[in-house]
Structure 1
């Protein structure tokens, strides 16, 4: 982010702690704030009329919640919720919208982020339609590991069942299979990737690491 853009936004930024299961955006409701994550992971969750949930995308320190504001939309059909706790910065949505109108540099940067988010959701659709549960789990673990410090990801099988849209027994079987193959190790409430190259080979090129996909190293870093 440019020095000028950061200076324009900084006075309205508020540092906030982000707790697990905290909802940031509610479907169909006006978006009052944007959230820039510096630590932790948020999920974009879509819910059917029958109450079935599945994850459309995840967002970490590479991005912001909700991208609808970047596109000039004041409400989203998707619920955004914190899955891995951390902290970030809250900004009134009208402040960001106003700055986007004034700054071509900021528009360009955030448009690249939206493109990356679209790429992620497209690959998620491919994975959900074509991959086994184990392959989808591998992809999800890689996506999370790029957004946290280290290879250990704090989550439960119950959470994974929602994010992968499979029964908990299917998640447990997939985790056990990966552990038996030496790709991961598990402990209560956490999974550690122990053989990243092997995990990468299981996802058929459907994942782009943040190091090559991220248009900026952190949304609140002035340059």
Structure 2
């Protein structure tokens, strides 16, 4: 993409880079549209490409045969596939797939690694981002242990809301139950409770966020820690 300019991109990591670091990556970035449920990184296979998310959202899930439980979310603040590549382990046991359709800027592993090897500032920025992913995973574990279903769903809706334009999220009850590791009936009842309290409005295959403060009140402080770390280490733009 020879005409791609740093000011044109929406991905917050790309925008936060020093201009010379962006210039190292720019010739190798390839635009692609991605569809819901499309796999981006397969478990236990070498990561051959990485993806800067421009819009939409990618879920990071445990890949057990019987159940899938979400352990991470990546939107336009992030880079899919960076942890195994930058930490020199080349693969991950977790499945990364598209949860909300959107657009990405992809780059091959070799070109990415070459750019990182040439720039200490780029390596530092990406390691800081990996730190925020680790904090997010730790907060998710805390939420699963300390919160009831309402609190966990409220936190998850807030995280999704952070990563989309507008207030509507394209989600089904079936998908939510898989992500949260609970029965669909429990998700349906919880959504009804959140809607009755004026926190959200449920539509067919969509949830509209009405009151973020009311959702935050349910999370008992489990929402916001990785987001604050990202703003502190990378930037709030």
Q: Could you tell me how far 1:72 is from its partner in structure 2?
A: 1.9
Cα pair 1:143 1:209 within 8 Å, conserved: no
Q: Aligned match of 1:12 in 18, 25, 28?
A: 28
Aligned mates of 1:157, 1:142 — CA distance in 2: 16
What TM-score does the superposition give when structure 2 sets the normalisation length? 0.88
Aligned mates of 1:133, 1:59 — CA distance in 2: 22
Q: How does 1:183-194 map to 2 (within 5 A)?
A: 183-194=199-210
Partner of 1:65: 80
Higher relative contact order (CA closer than 8 Å, sequence separation 6+): 1
Cα pair 1:44 1:58 within 8 Å, conserved: yes
Q: Could you tell me how far 1:212 is from its partner in structure 2?
A: 3.1
What TM-score does the superposition give when structure 1 sets the normalisation length? 0.93
How many residues end up aligned between the 2 structures?
A: 218
Cα pair 2:136 2:226 within 8 Å, conserved: no
Q: How does 1:74-89 map to 2 (within 5 A)?
A: 74-89=90-105
Aligned mates of 1:197, 1:128 — CA distance in 2: 21
Q: Aligned match of 1:114 in 120, 123, 130?
A: 130
Gaps of 5+ in 2: 1-16
Cα pair 2:43 2:63 within 8 Å, conserved: no
Counterpart secondary structure, 2:117: helix
4+ long deviations beyond 6 Å: none
Aligned mates of 1:194, 1:208 — CA distance in 2: 18
Aligned-pair RMSD on alpha carbons? 1.6
Q: Aligned match of 1:161 in 144, 165, 177?
A: 177
